[in-house]
Amino acid sequence: MLDQPHRTPAEPSLDEKALAKALSGQHFIAGRFVAARSGKTFDVVNPATGEVIGQAAEGDAADVEAAVQDADRAQKDWAKMPSRKRGALVSQCAALLNQHKEELARLIALETGKALRTESRVEAGAVADIFEMYGGLGGELKGESVPFAPNVLSVTVREPLGVVGAIIPWNVPMLLMALKVAPALVAGNTVVVKSAEEAPLTVLRICELLNRVLPPGCFNMLSGFGPECGGPLVQHKLVKKVTFTGSVEVGRIIAKGAAEKLVPVTLELGGKSPMIVFADCDFDKTVMGAITSMRFTRQGQSCTAASRIYVERPIYQRFVDAMAAKVDAMVMGDPLDEKTDIGTIISDEQFAKVKGFIDEGLATSGATGRACSAMPEDPALKKGLFIQPYIFTDLANESRLVQEEIFGPVTVVFPFDDAEKVLADANGTDYGLAASLWTNNLTLGLDLANRLEAGLVQINQNLVVQANLSYGGVKSSGLGKEASLESMLEHFMHKKTIMVNYAS
C-alpha cells in the first residue's frame, strides 16, 4: 500500500490553492489517501489562468480492484446497520458539508472556472441539501404485504444491491455525485466513485470529509481517465450497479458494459432543452428566466440549459433585444471575484468544441449570431477559457446548433406563430431532459406540459435539479431517475418476496 499521510486541514480552509496541492496525487480508498498503484499522476488546471493547481492520481484496473474489494468488504457490515442509523450518519455528513460550504465553493471555482457567487456557492449548498434529504429517509426503505392466498403471508423486503460504481462529469461534479452517493449509502450499498479528469479535487475533499463520519470503505474515490479507470469499474464483477452522468456516447458504452454483466444502470445524458415563450407571459420575468434557464453564468455548461428558445412572434424581436441587453450587462471574469457573473469553459477540448459550433453558426448564410458581454481585460486571465455568450437567430430547425448539445454559452432563438407547430419543433430532437413554458394561460401551459417529451417540465420557472423532485430524461437523455425517495428505492435496492404458508 502506498499510503500517504493526510496533508489536508481538519478545519474548513479558504486557501483553495493550498488545499488543491494538499489533495494532489491521491485516490481515497478504505478511509485513506493512497497514490495510484502505477505511481502515475496527471495535471489539474485552473481554466481561468491555465495554471497547474495540482495533480490527480491516474487510476487504472489495479486501483479499481483495490477500491472495489474494500467497498465490497465494507458493504457487509454497512448493510447490517439499521437503516435509520445509516440515515443519521448521512445527516451528519450533511452537517459537515454545510460547515465546509464556502471551502468547497472556492475550491470548485478554482478547479472548474465556475463563478463563485453565481454558481459555485449554489452548488455547494445543494450538495449539503441532497445529503440532508436522503439522511432523513432511512426509515422509508419499506416493503409491502401482498394479498396472495388465505393462510399465506406474502411480503416484500428491500435489500441493497452491493457495491455501486458511480461515474461523474465535471460540470456540477459535487452535486451530481451527491445525487448518486447519498441514496446509495442510505440504501445500504457502498460506493466507488470515478471522478471526472477535469475536476477530481473538490469531490476528493468531499470524500475525505465524509469518511470522518462513515465507516472506512463505504465511500471511495478514484481519479483517472474514462476507458482506463471508468471502464474497469463498470466491468468489475463485484460492482452490482452502475450510475453515470455524462455524454450520450459514453452512456451507450456504459450501458453495454452493464448489459454484459446484467446489472442495472442509471444514465443522465444531457439535453437540448426547449423554452417556449408565449406573448401573454410576464415579459421581464421571462427575459430573466431565459438568462437563468440558459445557465449563462455557467457558460451554458448544463444538461438542462435552455439552448432552444421559441418566442411567440408579437414579442419576438423585443425579447431577443432584451435578452442580449441583459447578457451584455453580465460581468465575465475571475471566477473567484465576487463581482463576476460568468466564469470559464472547463477545458481546451470543450473550448474547441463550443468555438466550432459558434463558427458554424456564424458561417451559416442568413443566420445572425450576437456576441454579448465583454471579454475580461485582466492580463492574468489572458490564457483563460472565456467565450462570449452568443444568441443566434434565423437558423433552421435542422441546423446542428439546434439539434446537438453544445454545452457552451450558445442559444438559438426562433419566432413562432402556432402552438402545435412549436410543440412539434420542441419535441423534434433526440433529447428529452427538460423543458419550460412561459405563459399566464395555465390551461394552454398544462396541455403542452403534458405533451412535451421531457423528464422535467416547468411553467413560469426553470430551476435546476431539486432535492425530493424526480429528475431524469427520456429518449437519448437517459434512463432512470434521481433525486427522489422513489429513485433510491427503485435504483439502489431490489425487492425480495418472502412467503410464509401458515396453514395448519
Nearer CB in complex with ligand NAI: 77/349: 349
Asked if 196 is part of the footprint of ligand NAI (rule: CB under 6 A), the reply reads yes
SS3 call for 424: helix
- Residue 447 neighbours by CB under 8 Å, 6+ apart: none
Stretch touching ligand NAI by CB under 6 A, among 75-83, 163-171, 214-222, 312-320: 163-171
CB of 504 to ligand NAI, least distance (A): 56
Nearer CB in complex with ligand NAI: 34/258: 258
Nearer CB in complex with ligand NAI: 166/488: 166
CA distances (Å), origin 230, targets 126, 193, 332? 26, 9, 34
CB of 299 to ligand NAI, least distance (A): 11
Stretch touching ligand NAI by CB under 6 A, among 27-35, 243-251, 280-288, 462-470: 243-251
Q: Residue ranges of the alpha helices (H) in 262-347? A: 283-293, 313-328
Total Cβ atoms within 10 A of residue 247: 16
CB of 138 to ligand NAI, least distance (A): 28
Asked if 480 is part of the footprint of ligand NAI (rule: CB under 6 A), the reply reads no
Residue from the set 197, 334, 453, 482 that interacts with ligand NAI by CB under 6 A: 197
Stretch touching ligand NAI by CB under 6 A, among 118-126, 192-200, 390-398, 458-466: 192-200
Asked if 307 is part of the footprint of ligand NAI (rule: CB under 6 A), the reply reads no
Could you give the angle at the alpha carbon of 101 between the alpha carbons of 351 and 383, nearest 5°? 25
**Considering 119, 123, 198, 268, which one is annotated as catalytic?**
268
* 423, containing H or E segment: helix 419-426
Asked if 253 is part of the footprint of ligand NAI (rule: CB under 6 A), the reply reads yes
CB of 267 to ligand NAI, least distance (A): 9
Distance of CA 427 to the CA centre of its chain: 23
Stretch touching ligand NAI by CB under 6 A, among 14-22, 90-98, 165-173, 336-344: 165-173
How many residues bind to ligand NAI according to rule CB under 6 A?
28
Cell output for 356: 466550432
CA distance 489 to 495: 9
CA distance 64 to 284: 51
Residue type at position 482: E
SS3 call for 8: coil
Q: Are 175 and 148 in contact, with CB atoms under 8 Å apart?
A: no
For ligand NAI, the binding residues in 331-350 under the rule CB under 6 A are 350
* 157, containing H or E segment: strand 152-160
CA distance 88 to 189: 15
CB of 449 to ligand NAI, least distance (A): 22
Pick from 229, 196, 211: which is nearest to 59 by CA? 229
Stretch touching ligand NAI by CB under 6 A, among 124-132, 227-235, 368-376, 446-454: 227-235
The residues annotated as belonging to the active site are 268, 303
Q: Would you tell me which residues interact with ligand NAI (CB under 6 A)?
A: 167-171, 194, 196-197, 225-227, 230-231, 234, 245-247, 250, 253-254, 268-270, 303, 350, 353, 405, 407
